[in-house]
Chains A and B, each alone.
Chain A
Amino acid sequence: MTTPLNLKELSKKELRFTSGHRLCAGCGVPIVVKMILLAACDYPVVAASSTGCLEVSSCISTYTAWKIPWIHNAFENAAATLSGVESMYRALKKQGKIDKDIKFIAICGDGGTYDIGFQSLSGAMERGHNMLYVCYDNGAYMNTGIQRSGATPTYADTTTCPAGAVIPGKPQQRKDLTRIMASHGLPYVAQAAPSHWPDLMKKVRKAIETPGPKFINIFAPCNRGWRSRPDDAILLSRLAVDTCFWPLYEVENGVTRVTVKPKEKKPIVEFLKAQGRFKHLFAPGNEKMLEQVQEMIDKNWERLLKEEQMTLPKEEESK
């Protein structure tokens, strides 16, 4: 029987990512990992991680926080590695050596996904392996000390694009990886955030029950890198959704649905001002940059709504 995704039932389930891991206090990642594994609680899971915060903090020397089989190979190859595990599973199943319905989930940071691991991810998805790849996006290389990545938002202050006298933080736009993965024509692609946990878990559940390659991009606040309060992870996640910085949507077989539409779209400054990495934008004379960021957010949000309208089947539109 399928476990309903409600607190009453889920609280009875064993946590397959245990306490005792060494992720920072207030980190968004273990919250996300626990949600993923709870959403998959009805199945045996084999997980893979790329080198990064989650990896270095969850399996050290003779200790492991993983109560499920887990593999870490290198930084850029979690997708290829898990595709190998999944292929062996299919080979042994074909030979009658395994009969269980095992789910395969990669959980990797944005550096290992948007940047160095992008080729490996794209290849594994194109080959159609029956696996879910989850990116936990905290917007920089946090494990090595907050260096900019392809996921770092515009104007964010990081250690390799520091806000200086001439350059105001990261000059470029972030890569829209969720859309890039949707362009692979995958059966299921989604974007989620831990503040909206029923939405997140529903997406993970849907993904693992969909055959073929799936991708979910999950927002993961990092108080060390963002210079925010350690107990603000969920608050920042909610602000990211409410300001449309991180829209919650899914692309299922080519149909785009915005799964959570903020009742009232908040101005982006509310998300930015809670984080030290954007502090320089609030200095006098930098108003233009704040306007620019707001314009980018608006443009992307409108495009997403248009995409939803264009792809939604007629009967759903009339509802």
Chain B
Amino acid sequence: MTKVVAVTGNEAVANAFRQIEPDVCAAYPITPQTELMQRFASFVSDGKVKTELILVESEHSALSACVGAAAAGGRVATATSSQGLALMWEILFITSGMRLPVVMAVVNRALSAPINIHCDHSDAMGARDSGWIQLWSENAQEAYDNAIQAFRIAEHMDIRLPVMVCYDGFIISHSIERIEYLDDDIVKNFVGEYKPLYPLLDIENPKSYGPLILTDLYMEVRRAHAEVYKKVPQVVLKVAEEFEKISGRKYGLFETYRLEDAEIGLVVLNSAAGTAKDVVDEYRDKGIKVGLIKPRLFRPFPYGEIGDALKHLKAVCVLDRADAFGGSFGPLYLDIATSLYPYSIKPALINRIYGLGGRDFMPEHVAYVIEELKKIVETGKVESFKEYIGVRE
């Protein structure tokens, strides 16, 4: 049955890839992703997987090779971080535009300049409009579980879209945690045999991939493409339901924590949610009605469901581990604000930017924000909508 192990986040995702055994993987080294593909390369070298591993000369070529491999007609995975994801940017849109179900682990890391190898979310946020489905993961267990579910979502015949599985660089990728592995057979059964759709290698039925489409039909193609994303949340929930049966672990579009009767709330992605939940508990013990929401399916963003979950609150702080320079607010804040816009009575909404370039996110930062929200509820006034927190003065 399940096996309890102490492993890093990268090791857990490498193990998920081993269990799933994609037909082709292509990757290029970048910190903090590197360990994942190193471990996977050992599985290839030791004959534990039948995967063809393409060790390319750049991330641009890594994703380009994935596009070719996926179009050829088999299961494909890759992984990257930061600059690597930035270099892939052009091909991200081509992967989704061609409806190729590639799965990519994105080990979140800050973008240059200045160069920084540590965690923030500016890499994945830069790819949020690329048409990839994004699943975010709080810890190694969620990264492992999301990686397994990602293949089912990507390869679903109603979806056929690429999926990113995001987890925090170093904080999760390199920390050792207790996690539960599923049996190899159970994972293989869950993921199932790959079903090719219009494979290039079907010589008898030749297909052309990547046509030129100009003013006559481009708009129609894009409109049809937009329709597909509407089906994603239902598929994500269906896959989660099946995953619960094999793992006992429940997943939704997002996780709520002590939110139902809350008056103030926090919205936060990935590992910082773990820290924030502890502080929520402390405040609950003091009788403060605070709760939390942690989005899991960030693209397509479940606006209706999240707006519905937050609308009853009096004040909410969206914690962003990335800024949108030149824009007004952090990227997560903008989506939360959009979710709440349809409601005539809605919470006061503030944005706090934290943890850039791996700056530690401490319990006192959460406490500081909760105190701010309490004050907003008491006074009915918002003094500042957007601030950086945890900055050295």
Contact = CB atoms under 8 A, between A and B. Distances in A.
Interface string A38-71: 0000001010100000011001111010111111
Nearest to B26: A84
A60 B144 CA distance: 42
Contacts of B91: 73-74, 77
B208 A92 contact: no
Contacts of B287: none
B175 interface: no
A83 B76 CA distance: 13
A70 B207 CA distance: 6
In the complex, which of the residues A81, A100, A124 has the most CB atoms of chain B within 10 Å of its own CB atom? A81
A61 B216 contact: yes
Interface residues of A, number: 46
Nearest to A77: B64
Interface in B333-373: none
B96 to A, nearest CB: 13
A122 interface: yes
Contact of A127 (B54, B202, B210): B54
B203 interface: yes
B60 A85 contact: no
Contacts of B247: none
Interface in A70-93: 70-74, 76-77, 80-92
B56 A123 contact: yes
Contact of A73 (B50, B68, B73): B68
A91 B51 contact: yes
A21 to B, nearest CB: 12
Contacts, number: 164
Nearest to A75: B90
Given A61-B217, A66-B206, A94-B50, A88 B72 contact: yes
A205 B201 CA distance: 21
Contacts of B201: 46, 69, 85, 88-89, 92, 98, 102
Interface in B256-300: none
Given A46-B200, A87-B54, A74 B23 contact: no
Contact of B200 (A62, A69, A90, A123): A69
B231 to A, nearest CB: 24
Contacts of A123: 56-58, 61
A190 to B, nearest CB: 24
A62 to B, nearest CB: 8
A301 to B, nearest CB: 33
Interface in B199-249: 200-203, 206-214, 216-217
Given A69-B206, A73-B68, A84 B54 contact: yes
Nearest to A68: B206
A113 to B, nearest CB: 15
Contacts of B211: 59-62, 64, 72
B203 A87 contact: no
Given A46-B201, A77-B91, A84-B26, A71 B213 contact: no
A84 B68 contact: yes
Given A67-B206, A73-B91, A87-B54, A55 B212 contact: yes
Contact of A91 (B50, B56, B60, B207): B50
Interface string B44-87: 00000011101111101110111111111110100000000000
A83 B54 CA distance: 8
A120 B52 CA distance: 18
B68 A82 contact: yes
Contacts of B56: 80, 83, 123, 127
A73 B206 contact: no
Nearest to B58: A119
B22 to A, nearest CB: 9
Contacts of B23: 88, 91-92, 95
A80 B58 CA distance: 10
A84 B65 contact: yes
A122 B76 CA distance: 23
A70 B61 contact: no
A127 B55 contact: yes
A115 interface: no
A186 to B, nearest CB: 16
A74 B72 contact: no
In the complex, which of the residues A70, A80, A92, A124 has the most CB atoms of chain B within 10 Å of its own CB atom? A80
A176 interface: no
A70 B209 contact: yes
A102 B201 CA distance: 8
A302 interface: no
A295 interface: no
A14 interface: no
A95 B60 contact: no
10 contacts: A60-B211, A61-B211, A68-B206, A69-B206, A72-B210, A73-B68, A74-B64, A84-B67, A84-B69, A84-B72
Interface of B: 23-24, 26, 50-52, 54-58, 60-62, 64-74, 76, 90-91, 94, 200-203, 206-214, 216-217
Given A81-B65, A124-B61, 19 more contacts: A59-B210, A60-B214, A61-B212, A61-B214, A61-B216, A68-B206, A70-B207, A70-B209, A73-B68, A73-B210, A74-B90, A77-B61, A83-B65, A84-B76, A85-B68, A85-B71, A85-B72, A88-B23, A120-B60
